[in-house]
Chains A and B, each alone.
Chain A
């Protein structure tokens, strides 16, 4: 019998987003898993424990009593020199908020996936991006994915980026709950050898760790100017991460034979008169809507924000320059600005441009509300109309009234 040699770029399997995340984690060989079940993240945790039971994943596990302990256990493991993984959603993320800020402020390169979910109240267990938006200023790097393949790939990028000696920051790999966590797609699983080579640049010995040979105090009490120094360094590291992801994209393609994509994915943007800006899986429908509007003669394009924190301000400003209008799609609400969170960032970015561009925000897809193609086609039409000087509200709530 002849067995087929494995492809160097890995095998193609069909799996949902949670399973794709589990494969990504497995390939990165974490030393510690600490997570607490919460929908829609739970099947990821179950898959990792299955890998462990099968003897494929050599990791310690901590059966924690809640998310706060889950992240705290991961922080301790990373401080001790290990590689740790945890995952959560929605209220689980809120329940670990103090540990969340500790992980970033202490510069602990832990990787945590978030299967994004709406917040309560009103009570719901549905898809939305409110959870990750509420922690966006917590000092973590946040990557937001559009497909199951991108979930797996982004976890590989996340460990490479987080543990880089010049970065040393925790990273969220975010994927839309249910739309991606429970959607099955073909996913190319790279070989262990390729992942090992990709991650060879980082690991133990490249950052300070707890050790009896060279004792260091972890979590030292800090006041005044020294505190400002750590905050300054944290901000600088966030900005370095923007440069490093651009360089890592080349490393990724060399290792796996396909690009990861960098901080922003563009779609039909080159000659677009109006630019749509969005994140996550809804951009799939938005691309179809753009195709159909193009067939009607409306020159629209898309900038999908893949790296949301640090915000790719310079790159987005370049993409916005010269457009007749920019429309922003949000699946979350920023109460203080009566708009979506991404819109507030895009509006701030617009201040970097010489010319004023009409901006419009589309808020929709909250709590799993279906962002149908027709709604997004209307969003494209509205953006084009604003570019032609037609008046209208700054924020359009899709599907309402």
Chain B
């Protein structure tokens, strides 16, 4: 029998395929307007899913896990993040 998990119990490597891809649940996606982003990290601090990634000059959400809750857009002091409706693409 082939198993997907190397563990006996529900332990998981946080970056592995064993964690549910919560990005599938998203209705709206955060879009970062890079020119406005001051790289302050407030979105990174607040993201409840821990899925904001530091890209060096600005931040961006990892859409594999981002549920589209919109907290990052709400807390961004520069209003650099806007929520756009998912179009299924």
Contact = CB atoms under 8 A, between A and B. Distances in A.
Interface of A: 105-108, 168, 207-208, 215-223, 225-226, 229-230, 232-234, 237
A220 B3 contact: no
A220 B4 contact: no
Interface stretch (B5-13, B54-62, B75-83): B5-13
B35 interface: no
A5 to B, nearest CB: 43
A237 B12 CA distance: 19
Q: Tell me which of A108, A217, A218, A233 has the highest count of chain B C-beta atoms within 10 A of its own C-beta.
A: A217
B45 interface: no
Nearest to A165: B8
B12 A217 contact: yes
B9 A223 contact: no
Contact of A106 (B5, B10, B19, B20): B10
Contacts of A225: 4
A216 B13 contact: yes
B42 interface: no
Interface string B30-66: 0000000000000000000000000000000000000
A139 to B, nearest CB: 11
Contacts of B88: none
B15 to A, nearest CB: 10
B8 A216 contact: no
A230 B18 CA distance: 12
Given A221-B19, A229-B3, A237 B14 contact: no
Nearest to A237: B8
Given A220-B18, A223-B20, A208 B10 contact: no
B4 to A, nearest CB: 6
Contacts of B18: 220, 226
Contacts of A233: 3, 8
A222 B3 contact: no
B41 to A, nearest CB: 21
Interface of B: 1, 3-5, 7-14, 18-20
Contact of B9 (A107, A215, A221, A232): A107
A168 B3 contact: no
Contacts of A216: 11-14
A225 B5 CA distance: 11
A164 to B, nearest CB: 11
B5 A215 contact: no
Q: Which 5 A-B pairs have the closest CB atoms?
A: A107-B9, A220-B12, A217-B12, A208-B11, A220-B10
Contact of A208 (B3, B4, B7): B7
A108 B9 contact: yes
B14 A215 contact: yes
B9 A229 contact: no
A372 to B, nearest CB: 46
A234 B8 CA distance: 7
B7 to A, nearest CB: 6
Given A226-B18, A229-B3, A233-B3, A219 B10 contact: yes
B14 A217 contact: yes
A107 B12 contact: no
17 contacts: A105-B9, A106-B10, A108-B9, A168-B9, A217-B19, A218-B10, A218-B11, A219-B10, A220-B12, A220-B18, A225-B4, A226-B5, A230-B9, A233-B3, A233-B8, A234-B8, A237-B8
A105 B3 contact: no
Contacts of A207: 8
Contacts of B14: 215-217
Nearest to B3: A229
Nearest to A220: B12
A95 to B, nearest CB: 24
A194 to B, nearest CB: 29
A313 B88 CA distance: 53
Contacts of B20: 221-223
